Amino acid sequence: MKIATVSSNQKIDPTRRRRLKPDGSPDDNDRVEIGPTPLAFAEWDALGLTPPDLTRMREFRLQRIVNELERRDLAGVLLFDPLNIRYATDSTNMQLWVTHNHTRACLVLADGYMVLWDFHNCDHLSAHLPLVKEVRHGASFFYFETGARTEEHARRFCKEVDALLTKHAGDNYRLAVDKIEIAGLRELDALGLEVHDGQEVMENARLIKGEDEIRAMRCSIASTEIAIGEMQNAAVPGVTENDIWAVLHAENIRRGGEWIECRILSSGPRTNPWFQECGPRTVQAGELLAFDTDLIGPYGICADLSRTWMIGDVAPTAEQKRLYRIAHEHIQHNMQLLKPGVTFREVTEKSHRLPDEFLPQRYGVIMHGVGLCDEYPSIRYPEDYASDGYDGVLRPGMVLCVEAYVGAVGGREGVKLEDQVLITETGYENLTHYPYERAFLTTKQ
């Protein structure tokens, strides 16, 4: 089914539409919807970047969901994951809080009709979104919110979902659900609905990025790289890891970014093993500092980049250069494998082989999808394929983060590198422009 396009937003006072920002949103200083700041727009313009057309991007995303529902003969998909709700509606509301307090839900029906259940008194947060046909309340049925009445609230909510399915899908009782509290799942089962995997639906819908999503991603990455530059300037001997990481947070928010998923930044001996989050440690000259942004920037688009730097104006040691060059070679080799039609398994089989000393602490994946966050697919190392790998095919419009961690068990330091890459019609395009450290790649000692 083709979703009808929307030429104007009937929910907004027409006087607010006379002046528009470059992404088509109202140029209204008092608007409710969040978005990029004037600083971000100015920087993107200076870089020659074109912001997304938000109306067109939203229509593209809804059509992607409808296509996946039709392909599986599903009546609809019921969403509680806030990032899936963001993809379907482009609405936000306390994104981190609702991740562990499921007060929001969205039902996307196969005919394109979309209903959003929002937090109480929050109808105004989606008033600018004409693809959201109804805003309701009452999707909360978790113990903190509903206590001993959880089953009652779950029953009432699920009856609303059932009534919408009957109205829009007739005798099709096949409903996909991404995440739901136990009480809700039991009520759906009691109503005779046939529950299917909503995460599969949404991951496949989100897999291929449209033109405007790629524009939004370019903008988000550009803002992130500017923020990374400020963070590198702040990475001087005598400050703490937290001081450095705080710069990335602040610069992200200044440009209209939204949050950071983790706080993975470490220095010196804390770079090995990996996955240590930043703390009060004071960085010192001659040490490595490594980080992974895991950053949700403007438009809710993830910029997932990693770099490793030297603290202070100090030449790297031979061992530091060796670690860095292996990590760099690893992601460059693996990037060269990317083109349409290549299978995930082929990438695994042809991937760069780390020296044996670094295999025990290898990263969890060779590469992974990215969009609103880390997404499908995960492409595994050869050592992990039998236990965790799965196959699939690279297609134009997919975006992958290609990464490596290189650090030996018991080693003094480790190196983390990661670039964000678009699969094109003929190969790939590296969307990442933040430079590598030349001092680590030169052969001159």
Percent over 70 (pLDDT), the chain: 96
Mean pLDDT of 274-290: 98
- Number of residues in the chain: 445
Give the Cα separation of 300 and 154 in Å (integer): 30
- Does residue 82 have a cis bond before it (omega within 30 degrees)? no
- 198: alpha, beta or left, given left = phi > 0 and alpha = psi -120 to 50? alpha
Percent over 90 (pLDDT), the chain: 95
Mean pLDDT of 3-19: 52
**pTM, entire model:** 0.95
Note whether 412 and 322 are within 8 A (CB): no
> Is the pLDDT confidence value at 2 over 80?
no
Alpha carbon 204 to chain centroid, angstroms: 14
Please, what is the average pLDDT of the chain?
Answer: 95
DSSP codes of every residue in 3-39: PPP-SS-TTS-GGGGSSB-TTSSB--TT-SS----HH
Write the single-letter amino acid at 113: Y
Beta bridge partners of 109: 76
Report pLDDT for 127. 93
Write the single-letter amino acid at 415: V
How many helices (H) and strands (E) the chain has is answered by 14, 17
Give the Cα separation of 76 and 198 in Å (integer): 9
Q: What is the dihedral of CA 174, 179, 184, 189, to 10 degrees?
A: 30
> Is the pLDDT confidence value at 6 over 60?
no
pLDDT digits (tens, 9 = 90+) for 220-229: 999 999 999 9
R_g of the chain, CA atoms, integer Å: 23
Note whether 331 and 417 are within 8 A (CB): yes
Note whether 227 and 255 are within 8 A (CB): yes
Sign of CA dihedral 199, 380, 369, 322: positive
Report pLDDT for 27. 95
Which pair of structure tokens corresponds to residue 163?
Answer: 């009534």
By the 10 Å C-beta count (0-12 exposed, 13-18 middle, 19+ buried), 356 is classed as: exposed
> Is the pLDDT confidence value at 303 over 90?
yes
Q: Model confidence at 9, in pLDDT bands (50, 70, 90)? A: very low
Q: Model confidence at 402, in pLDDT bands (50, 70, 90)? A: very high
